Amino acid sequence: MANQVIILAVVVCITLLNFMLWSGTNYGSKILPAQVNQLYTSMLSQAPNSSNVDKNMEEIRNKLDEEMAILKQLSMGSQSESFEEHFKHMKEFSTAQVPLRKRTLAQIFKPQEYYLLYGAMAPEVFCPEKVRVGTVGDGGKWVCNPWKVPRDTVLFSLGLNNYIGFEEDWQKMTENANILYGFDAAEQNPMTRGTYSKIRGTSKKAMISVATDAAKDKYTIEDLAKSFNVTSIEILKIDIEGAELTCLIPFLEKYPVCQIYLELHGGAPEHAKLLREVAHLGYRLFSYEVNGFELKACEYSFIAENCIEKYGGLRIANYLDFKN
C-alpha cells in the first residue's frame, strides 16, 4: 500500500511539473528541463529501496523523458519564425527560379510540349483566401478572396452553356454583391434566364468575335461592355472554346479588370504566348488547374497588379512576361 501511495504521489508531482513547464510563460518564470530533471531525481532518491518501486519508478522516468522531448519540440515551435519570415524565404527561393521558368517557357515550340508548359507554372501571387467557386468539376474557378469584392461592381461571364453554378455560388457567398452580365453563343433556356435574373444577372445571346456583326449575333467583348454602359469590370470569367486566343488581349488593352478566370485552349505554344501577353498587361497568375479531360485546356486565374492589396494578396515572383 505504501509503495502505491509513493508512486501516486510521484505521478501527481510529474503531472504538475508538466503543466508548469507547458504554461511557464503565463505563470511566472519558465521551468527549464534541467530543473525538472533535478526535481524528479530528488523524488526518486527519497523512495524506499524496493525492487518493485524501483521498477515502477523507472517506467515513470522513461515516460517523463518521452514527454520532455515532446514538450521541448513544442517549446521550440512557439519560438519559430513568423509567417512574414517564412514567406520571405519562400519568395527568395521562388525568385531564384525565375530565370529557369522564363527559359523553359521561351523554348516551347511544339503543340504537345505541355510537360514544359505546366512544369514551368507557379503562382506569381500568394492569395491566403484562395477558394474554388462552383462545381468540383468543369465550370469551377479558383478565385482570390471573393468576400473582398466591392459591392455593385460588374462580373462579366463569357460562355454560360446553360450552367450558372459559378455565378450562383459567387452571389451566395458575396450576398449578391455583383451585377452580372452573361453571354453565350446559344440562347439560354428559360430556367437559366430566370435563375440568372434572380441573382442580379442579365444574359444575352452573343458569340465572342474579333469583329461585331449584330445580324449574326457576333460581338467583340468591348462592344458587349459598351452596349450595357459598362466602363470597368471587376471580375472577368471566360470559357469561350478558343476565341480567347484572338479576342481577349484587344479587350484588356482598353478595359480595366481586377481578376480574370480564364479557361485557355490550344497547343502549348499558344498557351505560352497568351500567358505572356496577359502578364505584359500587368496581370499576375495566382492559380492554375489543368483540365481533367484534356491537356490542351487549362484554367488560369489572374489578378491585376493594382488589385493585389485590395484582395489581400502577396507578391511572389513574376516570370510569365518571359520575353521582356
3-state SS track over 6-27: HHHHHHHHHHHHHHHHHCCCCC
Cβ neighbors of 146 (< 8 A, separation 6 or more) are 131, 133, 170, 173, 174
Closest among 257, 259, 321, 251 to 286, alpha carbons compared: 259
The 8 Å CB, 24+ separation contacts for 196-199 are 196/164, 196/167, 199/164, 199/167, 199/168, 199/171
List pLDDT tens digits, range 183-223: 999 999 999 999 999 999 999 999 999 999 999 999 999 99
Q: Return d(Cα 238, Cα 157) in angstroms, integer.
A: 6
Let me know: does 259 contact 307? Beta carbons within 8 Å: yes
List pLDDT tens digits, range 62-90: 777 777 777 666 666 555 679 999 999 99
Closest among 190, 189, 221, 183 to 205, alpha carbons compared: 183
Phi/psi of residue 171, nearest 5 degrees? -70, -30
Query: How many beta carbons lie within 10 A of that of residue 239, not counting itself?
Result: 24
Where is pLDDT greater, at 185 or 45?
185
Edge to edge, what strands does the sheet with 257-265 contain?
201-205, 179-184, 154-158, 233-238, 257-265, 297-304, 283-290
Compute the average pLDDT of residues 154-181.
96
Let me know: does 276 contact 108? Beta carbons within 8 Å: no
- What does pLDDT average to over the chain? 86
**Percentage with pLDDT > 90 across the chain:** 71
Q: Which residue has the cell 484582395?
A: 311
List pLDDT tens digits, range 84-93: 999 999 999 9
Q: For residue 254, what is its C-alpha cell?
A: 482598353
List pLDDT tens digits, range 290-299: 998 899 999 9
Give the model's pLDDT for residue 81: 76
Q: For residue 37, what is its C-alpha cell?
A: 530533471
List pLDDT tens digits, range 272-284: 999 999 999 999 9
Phi/psi of residue 69, nearest 5 degrees? -65, -40
pLDDT reading at 258 higher than 50? yes
Is the domain defined by 83-315 classed in CATH 3.40.50.150? yes
Give the model's pLDDT for residue 24: 47
Q: Return d(Cα 137, Cα 289) in angstroms, integer.
A: 11
> DSSP labels for 56-112?
HHHHHHHHHHHHHHHHHHHHHHHTS--HHHHHHHHHHHHHHTHHHHHHHHHT--STT
Give the model's pLDDT for residue 38: 59
The number of helices, as runs of H, and strands, as runs of E, in the chain is 11, 13
Q: Return d(Cα 87, Cα 316) in angstroms, integer.
A: 9
Let me know: does 119 contact 127? Beta carbons within 8 Å: no
Give the model's pLDDT for residue 25: 44
